[in-house]
Structure 1
Amino acid sequence: MPESTTLRPPENPADAQRPAAVQRPVPRKLKAAIRNAPPRMVAGILLAVAAAVVCFFLFFDLKGNVGYILPRRAIKLAAMLLVAVAVGVSTLLFQTVTANRILTPSIMGFDSLYILVQTVLAFTLGAAAVVAAPPTLQFGVEVLLMVAFSALLYRWMFTGATRSLHLLLLVGVVLGSLFRGLSSLLQRLMEPSEFIILQDLFFASFNNVDPALLGFSAVIVAAVCAVVWRARHTLDVLALGRDVAINVGVDHRKVVMRVLLGCSLLVAVSTALVGPVTFFGLLVVSLGYQLCRGFSHAWLLPIVVLIGAAALVGGQLLLEQVFGFSTALSVVIEFAGGILFLYLLLKGSLK
């Protein structure tokens, strides 16, 4: 007689009553729920998270001289929120006009120009003189140079015979490489002690933000964001492509010039205030697109800002309370953003 086989009961009897295809539907259902969530729900959840992180940052472990600690925390928090707004909005606008979700305003060489300006000043005047210079003067010079550079570049590209956005991006990449090369050459010629002082200026820092500069920067960012918000419906049309925008009556060249100049002003103010944060915009905008696919700019703009605020303040909170300032937040941003940039490049090349 054939040997009888013994049937083992399933480890979980409930699994035997469900088809194999629906035993583990949670990840797919969760992903689909996130993608199909209405914009009000996404914005509301992000607003609650950002508000909770902000309150936790301000009032957690608040003891001792509260009158001294709380204002300093408020200034640092305001700087992080300002950078989140400026970098997030500028990256979203830049990706809208370039129709590319990998590019950021930093590709135009703004960060490289900032480093070159700091290096030239330290090489000619001395790093100690740069650090001791009035913050208002430094801020004004850096913003003026970066905005003037972008304005001349855009005017040259869009008033010539080519008027090519792709050529503009290519020239920006080449100029960024040129700026980095010049900075590296001057840094090699500097004294080691001067270079050590200069190196601290190359990383974003929220600890020593001047309150006067913070208020001036907030006015500029608020003015640019107000103009952007009024043009949110035009941005929706630009996202459909140049031909569609022209067919519906949008002056594509004029609008793109204004958007790029707004991006330049936002990035210049953010970089001059705290330093370069190259990949932060790519991180928050990529996450914003994942959370709200198909949404208009009326929802994308606040969602990206809320993601940036929660990520930046939450990251700083983790570094202070968990890791004890063992590293700078900008280093973590650059590391995570670099990995995301490579992932997006590989993902695009495999399609």
Structure 2
Amino acid sequence: MNPVARVTRARILMRLAAAGCMVLAVGFLTINAVGDWGFVLSLRGSKLVTIALVAWAIPFSTVLFHTLSNNQILTPSIMGFDALFVLVQTLGVFILGSVQVSILDPHLVFAGELVVMSAFSMALYWLLYARMSHAIEVLLLVGIICGVLFRSVAGLLQRLIDPGEFLVLQDRLFASFNSASSGEQTCAALIICLSTLWAWVRFPSLDAMLLGRSGAVAVGVNYDRIAKETFLIVTLQVAAATALVGPITFFGLLVVHLTYRLLPGAPHRLTIPLSVLIGGALLIGAQVILERLLGFLGTVGMVVEFIGGIAFILLLIGSRK
């Protein structure tokens, strides 16, 4: 596909995805809305803001992670973010108890989760990637091992806590768009917006990174600096989204690969906006179905994990052909 045709297709797809988001958002706000409209719209509007932030951060960070790792079947969660989130939640209930955890300041909890996940990721970067000839494979391998360790420790602690406490904990481990406060949304929005602007001005360099390390260096890109900044941007966005709603492992992979199929070979300035719009439409649509048609029987995170897991297996099979 020539560049002009690709840009034309991208604009058409973005308009369609944006229109779909708007229609679904209106449906989400108004379907089965009874009683005080001010209260209903305020409650649903807050949830819609959370959905928008997650739909923005996860696909954005997934595309950048694919560029950094030069591998399109990986997700940022491979670094152990989801497992670390589960461990932090489990430690909180194990040490303090579910009652004490429930009365903690949610802003403090959000900030703590964000700091822990960001510090873990950057520690891996400085201890491994920056000191071992910039071997991204080593960084990913250690991230996987740490994820297994975190899940094992969390599983052990979950077996030791009281069954009633475990039920409360289990509720906190599923991705949910219902519990984010306005302060948490504001903090997450600032992190996501600032990191997005940071990445946006570097899109030409990120496009060059698709050529590989040697190719990017050959066209004048400071590969090491851009790789470090990209890793930090991915870390901040994934940590903010995970601390806000919980782990959604395969959502980014599902959305981004749908974008790749619709717009193959496109630069970041086209791929990322389209993936964000598609992600927003999918999340809002899934929430409408679960809340308005299925009566809250399940969570969006469960549906995304199921569909995304199948998509991941298909991608692995396809990559071996």
Q: Does 1:327 align with 2:298?
A: yes
Q: Deviations over 1:137-182 (max 9, x none)?
A: 1011100010000111001123314320011111111110011011
Hey, what does 1:221 align to over in structure 2?
192
Hey, what does 1:11 align to over in structure 2?
none
Q: Deviations over 1:213-256 (max 9, x none)?
A: 11121111111111111111111111121111111121112111
Give the whole-Å Cα distance in 1 for the aligned partners of 2:107 and 2:305: 27
- Tell me which of 89, 103, 108 is aligned to 2:74: 103
Aligned-residue RMSD, C-alpha? 1.4
Hey, what does 1:180 align to over in structure 2?
151
Hey, what does 1:159 align to over in structure 2?
130
Hey, what does 1:288 align to over in structure 2?
259
Query: 1:307 is paired with a residue of what secondary structure?
Result: helix
Give the whole-Å Cα distance in 2 for the aligned partners of 1:60 and 1:121: 37
Greater than 4 Å deviation, 4+ residue runs: 34-37
Q: Deviations over 1:105-146 (max 9, x none)?
A: 100000000111111111111122112211011011100010
Hey, what does 2:115 align to over in structure 1?
144
Post-superposition shift, 1:260?
A: 0.9
Query: 1:295 is paired with a residue of what secondary structure?
Result: coil
Q: Does 1:169 align with 2:114?
A: no
Give the whole-Å Cα distance in 2 for the aligned partners of 1:60 and 1:201: 27
Q: Does 1:230 align with 2:201?
A: yes
Query: 2:33 is paired with a residue of what secondary structure?
Result: coil
**Residues 268-347 of structure 1: pairs in structure 2 closer than 5 A:** 268-347=239-318
Letter paired with 1:296: P
Give the whole-Å Cα distance in 1 for the aligned partners of 2:51 and 2:165: 28
Q: Deviations over 1:297-329 (max 9, x none)?
A: 111111010011000001000111221111111
Query: 1:318 is paired with a residue of what secondary structure?
Result: helix
Unaligned residue ranges in structure 1 (runs of 5+): 1-33
Q: Deviations over 1:74-106 (max 9, x none)?
A: 000000000000111011110111111110010
Letter paired with 2:176: S
Query: 1:258 is paired with a residue of what secondary structure?
Result: helix
Hey, what does 1:195 align to over in structure 2?
166
Q: Does 1:204 align with 2:175?
A: yes
Q: Number of matched residues?
A: 317
Name which of structure 1's ranges 56-65 and 34-43 shifts more when overlaid on structure 2: 34-43
Hey, what does 1:124 align to over in structure 2?
95
After TM superposition, the score normalised by the length of structure 1 is: 0.88
Name which of structure 1's ranges 335-344 and 251-260 shifts more when overlaid on structure 2: 251-260
Hey, what does 1:5 align to over in structure 2?
none
After TM superposition, the score normalised by the length of structure 2 is: 0.96
Give the whole-Å Cα distance in 2 for the aligned partners of 1:161 and 1:58: 51
User: Cα gap change, 1:193/1:276 in structure 2, threshold over 3 Å: closer, same or farther?
Assistant: same
Identical columns (%): 42
Letter paired with 1:300: T
Hey, what does 1:50 align to over in structure 2?
21
Letter paired with 1:177: V
Q: Is the 8 A contact 1:98 1:165 kept in 2?
A: yes
User: Cα gap change, 1:189/1:228 in structure 2, threshold over 3 Å: closer, same or farther?
Assistant: same
Q: Is the 8 A contact 2:207 2:267 kept in 1?
A: yes
Query: 2:157 is paired with a residue of what secondary structure?
Result: helix
Give the whole-Å Cα distance in 1 for the aligned partners of 2:26 and 2:112: 35
- Tell me which of 59, 63, 77 is aligned to 2:48: 77
Hey, what does 1:12 align to over in structure 2?
none
Give the whole-Å Cα distance in 1 for the aligned partners of 2:268 and 2:212: 15
Bigger radius of gyration among the two: 1
Letter paired with 1:201: R
Give the whole-Å Cα distance in 2 for the aligned partners of 1:331 and 1:132: 27
Query: 2:131 is paired with a residue of what secondary structure?
Result: coil
Give the whole-Å Cα distance in 2 for the aligned partners of 1:163 and 1:220: 26
Give the whole-Å Cα distance in 2 for the aligned partners of 1:215 and 1:36: 33
**Residues 5-44 of structure 1: pairs in structure 2 closer than 5 A:** 38-44=9-15
Hey, what does 1:249 align to over in structure 2?
220
Give the whole-Å Cα distance in 1 for the aligned partners of 2:289 and 2:139: 39
Query: 2:115 is paired with a residue of what secondary structure?
Result: helix
Q: Is the 8 A contact 2:174 2:246 kept in 1?
A: yes
Unaligned residue ranges in structure 2 (runs of 5+): none
Hey, what does 1:264 align to over in structure 2?
235
Letter paired with 1:176: G
